[in-house]
Amino acid sequence: MIARWCRHLLLLLLLGTLPGGQAAPGQSVLVLSINDAIGPASADYLIRGLHQAETDQAQLVVIRLDTPGGLDSSMREIIKAILASPVPVASFVAPGGARAASAGTYILYASHVAAMAPGTNLGAATPVQIGGLPGTPKDPGAPPAAPTGDKQPAPSEQDTLTRKQINDAAAYIRSLAQMRGRNADWAEQAVREAVSLPANEALRLKVIDRVANDLPDLLRQLDGKSLEAAGKTVQLQTAAAPVIERQPDWRTRLLAVITNPSVALILIMIGIYGLMFEFMSPGSGVGGVIGGICLLLALYALQLLPVSYAGVALILLGVAFMIAEAFMPSFGVVGFGGIVAFVVGAVILMDTDVPGFGIPLPLILFLALFSALLLGGVLGMAMKARKRALVSGDAGLVGSLATVMAVNDSDPYIGSVQVQGEQWQAYSQTPLQVGQHVRVISRKGVLLDVSAAADAVAQGD
């Protein structure tokens, strides 16, 4: 009996080691999806997905794209991972109505297979202006203004920077197009003139390789095709291949939340005010813990985002001025300057005009107003506390009620009294009685001068 069970167990182990005993390596198709602006979270998600496909020995990775663009740094990280991947990558702009604008166009050109669904478009790959106030982008394709005099005006530093960015982007996308054998002239035109194409026109101009109605249609079209990835030729068998959808995990979702510029700004404010209240009233630890965590998360997000350090400095300076207003008799001048510095710093915080990476002006104004009201409340409480009578030290003792606890047997004018929870030696101009309520008139060292006033007895009862 035992020998038979051992044979069965050995047979199961052998079957488990054979290709047919589990998901056959090199047969599955891994699907990754991007449905928003490309940023640090998207780059982390796609890079880890490509590594997972290599580990699982998948035969193909399909990136389903629907993006308005994104950050140049994140886009280049994704493209580096695609070019180095031993698993072929097919970028598929889907479903109908989706787009692969700006950074999405570069990713399409870098992929081993570029495909689109009907009703989609790509293009508009011109780099946006970096630096300066948001909302004032300069059209890089616009001709230079005609000179008004005899001398040709020297190009500004901003014009030179813009030309450098456009030339660099054009050379980059042209090199990708030449690598994949696609239309390099239109790719450069998409960068320099921000043109776009629908799916059918893109196929006709050899910008993309396929037009497919959906993912199963794309896999049927790619069945039997040979692709070269990382120096190796891979023959696809995708018609009946198992499809594995890899959704963003908690790490990607958390990274997407904290790298949102609006969330990063809110985390900065929570962190600063949490630490401020912890320093003002230490002991509870709640403000310090929450403020420290939020501030570290905000700093982590800022080092991943294209931030303007001038904006960060203005935000910190503005908050410092608003806090100083609560402790300085400046009649609102310092606080108002802090609000102005905070608003300007928040406006220029993001050093890019890429869609999806701006901070809404209403949020900036709300945070500034909230900070002003909060610090105004702190200032009001400080003024009330200043007008309140002192309840400690000599000023707190004088005028307070005390109870006679004991009387000197040899001198009835001297005894001990209890006042504010403490025992004191006291003397009076009239004889003292145990249990009598007296009022403190003055203090001389460790001796209190008390009097047995009639109102003291009434109030004490």
Range list of H helices, 326-446: 333-347, 361-387, 393-397
Tell me what the mean pLDDT of segment 57-81 comes to: 92
Q: Which residues contact 205 (CB under 8 A, 6 or more apart)?
A: 183, 186, 197
Do 177 and 184 form a contact (C-beta atoms < 8 A)? yes
Q: Is the pLDDT of residue 354 over 70?
A: no
**Same domain for 269 and 194:** no
In a domain, 187, yes or no: yes
Question: By residue range, what is the domain housing residue 109?
Answer: 23-133+159-246
CA distance to 91, 207, 351, per residue, from 65 (Å)? 7, 16, 25
Q: Is the pLDDT of residue 222 over 80?
A: yes
**Same domain for 367 and 404:** no
Reported pTM: 0.68
Task: Identify the H or E element spanning 322.
Answer: helix 309-325
Tell me what the mean pLDDT of segment 225-245 comes to: 90
| Domain C-terminal end among 179, 214, 246 | 246
Taking only the tens place, the pLDDT of each residue in 115-135 is: 999 999 998 888 865 444 444
**Same domain for 181 and 210:** yes
In a domain, 16, yes or no: no
**Same domain for 401 and 427:** yes
**Same domain for 450 and 370:** no
Q: How many structural domains comprise the chain? A: 3
**Same domain for 238 and 112:** yes
Taking only the tens place, the pLDDT of each residue in 374-389 is: 777 766 666 676 666 5
In a domain, 153, yes or no: no
The total of other beta-carbon atoms located within 10 Å of residue 293's CB is 14
**Same domain for 295 and 164:** no
- CATH code: domain of residue 424: 2.40.50.140
Q: Is the pLDDT of residue 159 over 70?
A: yes
| Domain C-terminal end among 340, 365, 387 | 387
Quick one: CA dihedral 115, 118, 120, 126, positive or negative? positive
**Same domain for 127 and 84:** yes
**Same domain for 48 and 188:** yes
Which range scores top for mean pLDDT: 166-175, 391-400, 425-434? 166-175
pLDDT at res. 30: 95
In a domain, 377, yes or no: yes
**Same domain for 263 and 321:** yes
**Same domain for 434 and 311:** no
**Same domain for 185 and 283:** no
pLDDT at res. 423: 84
